[in-house]
């Protein structure tokens, strides 16, 4: 049995560890947290998963929440009046071909950890440093680092040409709330863009105590959406900051959130991080190569709601690469090839995230088109499920212009006022 070490018990590490166990590998997972720690901990993400990621999870028996997590039928986009008007200047909703769903990672990760240990996986409860990796690597044929954006990701050199940002592009405040009125368009991933200032997202989430709403404020630093919370601010203060920003800049969302209260005492998060693409292989001090996965080596801002989807894709791509390698060596060239297969998809998300963070003029023009052309609205919504087609019409100004001209020539104007549920 080939011995694989997976460092990090987030969605990427756990999905890879479980996938390899099912293929009869001997898998050790290193993670400081056990299932109960994660359940008792703070909110981690909004983790909206789209069709392909959900299908992958179901295929492996890892998504038992279809009957409880609301089916998110579309993506709504509203653009706020930068001067603070009470109505959006623009509004459309695109339909998703397959519903998306969000299950609190505080439920999903413990469930997957339990499955892992029940299926015979070994869980080492610790936070690994580079010396640990070196010691553990001696007993394993392959080390995969799935430790997210912090600590160990620094072992993997930055690819500066793929990492244009040198600071966090958004300051994040997230709260899960109860007591909100339903979105008038049904269960949607709702996105309000505040030009030059950031975004407000809402979506329904299946969380610890049932269904609630996640409200995420993504504020440009120093801009009007940002709220300066004290160091060590508690969940209640984060919620107050979220509601204050939403009331001032997305009043149509605030209307339904006015009675909102925290879904549980740890249902809030704040922070921010610099998007980064790193080398896929790090060398430990004795020269041993280790393979980085998901956020450890490709971290995008949550503005496109893709990181957990990509974590699942990366787990699938790496599992296949490992299995296809048969008895062959897990050397540096294997690692680079595995990452290259992942990057073929991940690069679209990185390019899209950059466009959404910087908001070039053509994006606002595409939104205006989507408001009166349902096909464009639907195409935008489905890009969350598969961003690879965005290169043909969304990412570059020239292609966007050509697309808009094609639509104007070919399609009759239609408004997108059909509710999606
Ligand atoms: C506010 C917010 C909203 C988001 N919304 C969405 C969304 O709607 N849709 C979406 O697809 N994505 C979303 N994301 C992104 C998504 O949550 C992440 O991209 C995803 O969780 C990354 O998975 P991962 O396994 O690579 O890393 P992580 O989830 O960060 O997991 C890493 C794990 O490694 C462990 N670890 C860290 N260091 C060590 C160490 N030294 N030794 C051992 N273990 C270690 C950590 O404890 C953690 O359990 C959002 C993120 C944020 C912050």
Q: Give the model confidence (pLDDT) of 176-218 as tens digits.
A: 999 999 999 999 999 999 999 999 999 999 999 999 999 999 9
pLDDT tens digits, one per residue of 29-87: 999 999 999 999 999 999 999 999 999 999 999 999 999 999 999 999 999 987 777 89
Q: Whose CA is nearest to atom 37 of ligand 1?
A: 147
Of the pLDDT bands very low, low, confident and very high (cuts 50, 70, 90), residue 420 is very low
Of the pLDDT bands very low, low, confident and very high (cuts 50, 70, 90), residue 421 is very low
pTM for the model: 0.96
> What is residue 419's predicted lDDT score, i.e. its pLDDT?
42
172 lines ligand 1 (CB under 6 A): yes
Whether the per-residue pLDDT at 258 is higher than 90: the answer is no
Considering Cα of 311, then 400, then 86, then 83, what sign does the dihedral take?
positive
d(CA 243, CA 253): 10
Distance 305 CA to ligand 1 centre (A): 12
Question: Could you tell me if 315 and 323 are in contact, meaning their C-beta atoms sit under 8 angstroms apart?
Answer: no
Q: Are strands 188-194 and 72-79 parallel, antiparallel or unpaired?
A: parallel
C-alpha to C-alpha distances, 398 to 325, 362, 395, 402, nearest whole angstrom? 41, 9, 9, 6
Among 113, 97, 111, 100, residue whose Cα is nearest residue 46: 100
Phi-psi region of 79 (alpha: psi -120 to 50; beta: other; left: phi over 0): beta
> How many other CB atoms are there within 10 angstroms of residue 159's CB atom?
14
Whether the per-residue pLDDT at 10 is higher than 50: the answer is yes
Looking from the CA of residue 30, the nearest atom of ligand 1 is 43
Looking from the CA of residue 14, the nearest atom of ligand 1 is 25
180 lines ligand 1 (CB under 6 A): no
Of the pLDDT bands very low, low, confident and very high (cuts 50, 70, 90), residue 414 is low
Quote the tokens at residue 79: 């653009």
- Test site for ligand 1: of 5, 45, 353, 384, most ligand atoms within 8 A of the Cβ: 45
Q: Where are the domains of the chain?
A: 3-60+104-165+274-355, 72-101+167-271, 359-410
170 lines ligand 1 (CB under 6 A): no
7 lines ligand 1 (CB under 6 A): yes
239 lines ligand 1 (CB under 6 A): no
Looking from the CA of residue 11, the nearest atom of ligand 1 is 25
> What is residue 151's predicted lDDT score, i.e. its pLDDT?
86
Question: Could you tell me if 269 and 44 are in contact, meaning their C-beta atoms sit under 8 angstroms apart?
Answer: yes
Give 218's DSSP letter. Answer: E
150 lines ligand 1 (CB under 6 A): yes
What is the radius of gyration, based on Cα positions, of the chain? Answer: 21
pLDDT tens digits, one per residue of 352-380: 999 999 999 999 999 999 999 999 999 99
d(CA 290, CA 74): 39
Quote the tokens at residue 185: 């368009």
| Alpha helices (H) in 119-167, listed in sequence order | 130-137
> What is residue 146's predicted lDDT score, i.e. its pLDDT?
98
Cα–Cα–Cα angle for 377, 345, 61, rounded to 5 degrees: 90
Whether the per-residue pLDDT at 416 is higher than 80: the answer is no
Give the architecture-level CATH label for domain 72-101+167-271.
2-Layer Sandwich (3.30)
Looking from the CA of residue 310, the nearest atom of ligand 1 is 11
d(CA 281, CA 76): 39
> What is residue 417's predicted lDDT score, i.e. its pLDDT?
41
Q: Whose CA is nearest to atom 51 of ligand 1?
A: 45
Mean pLDDT of the chain: 95
350 lines ligand 1 (CB under 6 A): no
Domain 3-60+104-165+274-355 has CATH 3.50.50.60: yes
Question: Could you tell me if 275 and 300 are in contact, meaning their C-beta atoms sit under 8 angstroms apart?
Answer: yes
Q: What is the mean pLDDT of residues 253-280?
A: 96
45 lines ligand 1 (CB under 6 A): yes
Quote the tokens at residue 42: 């703070």
Q: What is the distance, to the nearest Å, from the Cα of residue 94 to the centroid of all Cα atoms in its chain?
A: 19
Q: Whose CA is nearest to atom 5 of ligand 1?
A: 46
Distance 150 CA to ligand 1 centre (A): 10
164 lines ligand 1 (CB under 6 A): no
92 strand-pairing partners = 77
pLDDT tens digits, one per residue of 84-127: 778 999 999 999 999 999 999 999 999 999 999 999 999 999 99
Name the 3-class secondary structure at 334: helix
292 lines ligand 1 (CB under 6 A): no
215 lines ligand 1 (CB under 6 A): no
- Test site for ligand 1: of 307, 350, 383, most ligand atoms within 8 A of the Cβ: 307
13 lines ligand 1 (CB under 6 A): yes
Question: Could you tell me if 44 and 150 are in contact, meaning their C-beta atoms sit under 8 angstroms apart?
Answer: no
Q: Whose CA is nearest to atom 2 of ligand 1?
A: 45
């Amino acid at each position: 049995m080939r011995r694989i070490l997976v460092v990090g018990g987030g969605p990427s590490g756990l999905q890879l560890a479980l996938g390899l166990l099912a293929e009869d590998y001997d898998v050790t997972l290193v993670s400081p947290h056990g299932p109960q720690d994660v359940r008792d901990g703070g909110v981690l993400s909004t983790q909206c998963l789209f069709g392909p990621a959900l299908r992958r999870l179901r295929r492996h028996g890892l998504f038992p929440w279809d009957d409880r997590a609301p089916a998110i039928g579309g993506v709504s986009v509203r653009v706020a009046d930068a001067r603070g008007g009470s109505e959006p200047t623009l509004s459309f909703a695109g339909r998703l071909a397959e519903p998306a769903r969000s299950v609190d990672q505080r439920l999903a990760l413990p469930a997957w950890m339990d499955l892992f240990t029940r299926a015979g996986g070994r869980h080492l409860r610790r936070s690994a440093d580079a010396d640990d990796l070196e010691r553990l690597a001696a007993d394993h044929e392959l080390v995969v680092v799935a430790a997210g954006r912090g600590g160990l990701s620094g072992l993997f050199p930055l690819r500066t040409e793929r990492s244009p940002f040198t600071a966090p592009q958004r300051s994040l405040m997230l709260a899960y709330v109860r007591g909100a009125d339903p979105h008038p368009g049904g269960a949607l991933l709702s996105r309000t863009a505040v030009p030059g200032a950031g975004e407000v997202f809402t979506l329904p989430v299946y969380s610890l105590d049932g269904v609630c709403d996640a409200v995420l404020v993504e504020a440009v630093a120093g801009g009007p959406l940002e709220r300066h919370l004290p160091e060590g601010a508690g969940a209640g203060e984060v919620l107050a900051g979220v509601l204050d920003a939403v009331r001032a800049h997305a009043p149509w969302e605030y209307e339904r959130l006015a009675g909102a209260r925290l879904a549980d005492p740890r249902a809030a998060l704040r922070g921010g991080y610099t998007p980064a693409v790193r080398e896929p292989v790090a060398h430990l001090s004795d020269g041993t190569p280790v393979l980085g996965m998901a956020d450890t080596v490709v971290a995008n801002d949550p503005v496109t709601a893709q990181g957990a989807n990509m974590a699942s894709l990366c787990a699938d791509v790496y599992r296949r690469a490992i299995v296809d390698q048969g008895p062959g060596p897990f050397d540096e060239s294997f690692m680079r090839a595995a990452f290259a297969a992942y990057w073929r998809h991940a690069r679209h998300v990185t390019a899209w995230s950059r466009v959404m963070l910087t908001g070039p003029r053509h994006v606002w023009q595409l939104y205006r088109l989507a408001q009166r052309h349902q096909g464009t609205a639907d195409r935008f919504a489905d890009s969350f499920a598969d961003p690879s087609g965005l290169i043909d019409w969304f990412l570059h100004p020239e292609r966007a212009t050509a697309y808009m001209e094609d639509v104007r020539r070919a399609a009759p104007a239609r408004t997108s006022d059909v509710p999606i549920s």
